[in-house]
Structure 1
Amino acid sequence: MNVQIFDQELTRMISSTVPSDWPSPGSFYSSPNWLRFVDSDGLGRAVYVVEDGAGAVAHLAPEDGHPDYRFETVLNSEDDRARLLLGGRRGFCSPVVGSRRSPAVLAGLIGAALEAFPEVNGAWWWPYLPSEDVPHVVAAARSLTGETPGVHLVDADCIVQQIPSDAPFGSSLTKKQRRTNWHREWRRFVESGLEVRQVSIDEIAACGAPLLQQVERKYGNEHPVERLEASLYRQARLLSEEAVAHAVFDGSRMTGYSLAYRWHQELTVRLVGLDYAALRDAAEYAVLLMHGPVRFAQENGIESLHLGTRSYEAKCRRGARVRALWVVAPGTTTSEVAIKERAGSILAELPAREAAALRSEIDAVQASVSTGDGR
């Protein structure tokens, strides 16, 4: 489906695949090749809408069993009717795409996507929105229905910003103890005799699935190794241009790796695989998650790292800030109690300074939504 709809001075493109004029997004998880990778799993249908410098992606994938992308699981709801998912089906970061964020433009994009899926009867949700985009999507929803959608705090992710290009990264950490720990864990790794080096994504695809399975299992996720292997090979096929992989070697044996993707001035660390039985307590996880990617970023003029969700305290103590992630869902009701409870569980894992910053961010989003401040 590739349809051009002309509306006076505007041209709207609706496509079932990522269009060639997809606006440049601010997140790797909205980039063309990542979206092609997501769609390549064959689960459900996608629609891409582009108009006047803005874009939106929508998916209808009732067969997708991933709990973090099922409405009823994420929002602990008994409402399991079909809903159109806006913003992207993987990545846990789904910002608004493009430079135009006015309520009218966003409403037009969402409305066009809904018209392509009449079976959802106008029902949609947009998960994993960064805080700065929540007011825009809320305003667009209001303009579509005349009602205020529910806004729900569901998660948080970690970002390292302003990586210095002309000074050691450790010197940018805010506290002396953090700077000391950064240098100590790197020294511990070096003295262990292990080696970290950059490898190709093809090498990760060939042998990385069992290590990834161990990490997934640690966090309570059971995935057959064959499924993980297939995913890695699809990433190698579709994302090789953006891939940046680091691996730890004990002699000739790979005992861990991280797979990241470069998108403009950000490096997004997507996953880490580890052979837990082979680890030497030599800060392997920290080296793969942070030290290797940071050095790559400094050598290539990359300004920031996106480290994803979970392990908040460990990431904060190595220089990350925490950013709230939200769901906007028409037909639901914002619960101040639920936001407070979810915020409390995240804040409890953060050092004091980062907790205060995130608390202020959450309060600002709630205030903007309640006052109708959709920019």
Structure 2
Amino acid sequence: MTETRHLASIGDIERGTWDSLVPAPCFYQSHGWLAGQERPDFATATYTVVSSGSRLLAATPSYDFPAENAPPLPPVAADREVLRVGTRTGYHNEFLLAGTEEEQRDALAELVEGLADHAARLGSDALLFDFLTTDSLRLLAGLFPVRAQLRSAEAVVHNEEGTFESYRRLLGRNVRKRDYEVRKFEQAGLRLETAPLSECVDELAPLIGQTMDRYDASLDLAEIRTFLTVQAEHLDGLSTVFRVVDEEGGLVGGHVSFAWREMLYARVAGFDYTRTRDAYEYFNAVYYGPLRHMEQHGLDTLHLGLSAVQAKVRRGARLHPVWAAVLPLPLVRGAGLTRDAAADQALADSVRAEAGGGMDEKEWELGRVTPL
């Protein structure tokens, strides 16, 4: 017999139990990451779990935002009072499920029904699954009639052989330009050092602030220090900061990353622009240095997230679609998937035009996205 429970904190479930459901692509749904995102002053988190005895079958966070903190809704969820299901940061969600395909379908159905009950108690009239992978969207649509829209494209470097030389082979005709970026960095007298996040919070926070200001995403310095400190508290053992230093060891910039299973996640970078030398510091700190580090630590996949897709594709990334999916309440059982095919195709075409490559034609053939 299965049981569905709603927990008020990720701390209410043992870390190893939760993480047993979390594969490599789902770092942003891991216990440590979610613990660092708990902010009751910002949004109320709930963790819905389905279990059978001591065995965890399905799990997800959800977030109830007050109106003043709520992120903008995707058009498919316009005019809805939604409960947001899945991690609230990181822009990657998929269902955390255990067992055979049949067991996973049953567990997902129970999970969604539990979420619907929770949402109804909050006064919500829909569940929003944002930045959902195609496989998870299809699985959900095989159980419930879903309204969906293409949301974006996430960039990932799949370096299956796991060496820097195999990465260079991925680059094809772009390899000479990328080699030049490495040489220019080295010739500028710069080098990379690594350290855990806990050793870098105070020095790195102002540089992240500089970079955020530069790209019109300003955040108070105290807030930057707070989120870095919290991440160090929960994730220090998974963290690597790639510190860009000059000949005297002075800090020029840095990039915070986290390792999960066989993947490395590029998270945030910051630079002192009075000390940079037009030497591709960003790409060395976020791509080339981490890829060499990955070879040494048995990692083969670099997650780069959304946006700036052309720069990422030119440096070996592949692009994968992510979706917004809405389930109106009350729930109705039965397979179904409704979307604006023309709007989705227009977005896919826009991504293709910007990226100039990196898109598997079969994966991006949106007409194939049907309920499982």
Classify the TM-score, shorter chain: 0.7 to 0.9
Instruction: Look up the equivalent residue of 2:48 and give its one-letter code.
Output: V
Tell me what 2:202 maps to.
206
SS at structure 1 position matched to 2:339: coil
Query: Is the contact made by 2:242 and 2:256 (CA closer than 8 Å) also made in structure 1?
Result: yes
TM-superposed deviation, 1:134: 1.1
TM-superposed deviation, 1:223: 1.5
SS at structure 2 position matched to 1:239: helix
Query: Is the contact made by 2:256 and 2:267 (CA closer than 8 Å) also made in structure 1?
Result: yes
Q: Does 1:298 align with 2:304?
A: no
The percentage of aligned residue pairs carrying the same residue is 23
Distance verdict in 2 for CA 1:154–1:217, change over 3 Å: farther
TM-superposed deviation, 1:122: 4.3
TM-superposed deviation, 1:296: 1.2
Distance verdict in 2 for CA 1:162–1:329, change over 3 Å: same
Using structure 2 for the length normalisation, give the TM-score.
0.86
CA distance in 2, matches of 1:197, 1:208: 13
Give the one of 246, 253, 256 matched to 1:256.
253
SS at structure 1 position matched to 2:222: helix
Query: Is the contact made by 1:196 and 1:246 (CA closer than 8 Å) also made in structure 2?
Result: yes
TM-superposed deviation, 1:11: 3.6
Query: Is the contact made by 1:48 and 1:113 (CA closer than 8 Å) also made in structure 2?
Result: no
* Equivalences for residues 135-150 of structure 1 within 5 A: 135-140=138-143, 142=144, 148-150=145-147
TM-superposed deviation, 1:167: 5.9
Tell me what 1:15 maps to.
7
CA distance in 2, matches of 1:166, 1:173: 11
User: Once the two structures are superposed, what CA deviation does each residue of 1:303-331 show, in whole Å capped at 9, x if it has no partner?
Assistant: 21111111211111221101111100124
Query: Is the contact made by 1:164 and 1:172 (CA closer than 8 Å) also made in structure 2?
Result: no
Tell me what 1:132 maps to.
135
Tell me what 2:215 maps to.
219
User: Once the two structures are superposed, what CA deviation does each residue of 1:7-33 show, in whole Å capped at 9, x if it has no partner?
Assistant: xx2243431222222143121101100
User: Once the two structures are superposed, what CA deviation does each residue of 1:128-152 show, in whole Å capped at 9, x if it has no partner?
Assistant: 1122211012223x1xxxxx22111
Query: Is the contact made by 2:159 and 2:166 (CA closer than 8 Å) also made in structure 1?
Result: no
TM-superposed deviation, 1:63: 5.1
CA distance in 2, matches of 1:109, 1:262: 28
TM-superposed deviation, 1:125: 0.4
Query: Is the contact made by 2:156 and 2:305 (CA closer than 8 Å) also made in structure 1?
Result: yes
CA distance in 1, matches of 2:168, 2:217: 37
Give the one of 281, 284, 294 matched to 1:284.
281
Tell me what 1:29 maps to.
28
Q: Does 1:155 align with 2:138?
A: no
Query: Is the contact made by 1:213 and 1:222 (CA closer than 8 Å) also made in structure 2?
Result: yes
TM-superposed deviation, 1:172: 2.5
Query: Is the contact made by 2:196 and 2:241 (CA closer than 8 Å) also made in structure 1?
Result: yes
User: Once the two structures are superposed, what CA deviation does each residue of 1:19-64 show, in whole Å capped at 9, x if it has no partner?
Assistant: 2221431211011000101114642222222225221221112256
Instruction: Look up the equivalent residue of 1:87 and give its one-letter code.
Output: G
Give the unaligned 5+ runs of structure 2. Answer: 52-56, 329-336
Tell me what 2:69 maps to.
65
SS at structure 1 position matched to 2:365: helix
CA distance in 2, matches of 1:166, 1:343: 31
Query: Is the contact made by 1:125 and 1:327 (CA closer than 8 Å) also made in structure 2?
Result: yes
The total of aligned residue pairs comes to 347
User: Once the two structures are superposed, what CA deviation does each residue of 1:64-102 show, in whole Å capped at 9, x if it has no partner?
Assistant: 6364xx32xx328651x5311111111111111123564
Tell me what 1:314 maps to.
311
Tell me what 2:91 maps to.
92
User: Once the two structures are superposed, what CA deviation does each residue of 1:245-265 show, in whole Å capped at 9, x if it has no partner?
Assistant: 101012332121111111111
CA distance in 2, matches of 1:48, 1:163: 34
User: Once the two structures are superposed, what CA deviation does each residue of 1:312-368 show, in whole Å capped at 9, x if it has no partner?
Assistant: 11111221101111100124962123212322321121124x24x2x532324x433
Instruction: Look up the equivalent residue of 1:196 and give its one-letter code.
Output: L
Query: Is the contact made by 1:138 and 1:328 (CA closer than 8 Å) also made in structure 2?
Result: no
Query: Is the contact made by 2:76 and 2:326 (CA closer than 8 Å) also made in structure 1?
Result: no
TM-superposed deviation, 1:203: 3.3
CA distance in 2, matches of 1:35, 1:194: 35
CA distance in 2, matches of 1:158, 1:299: 22
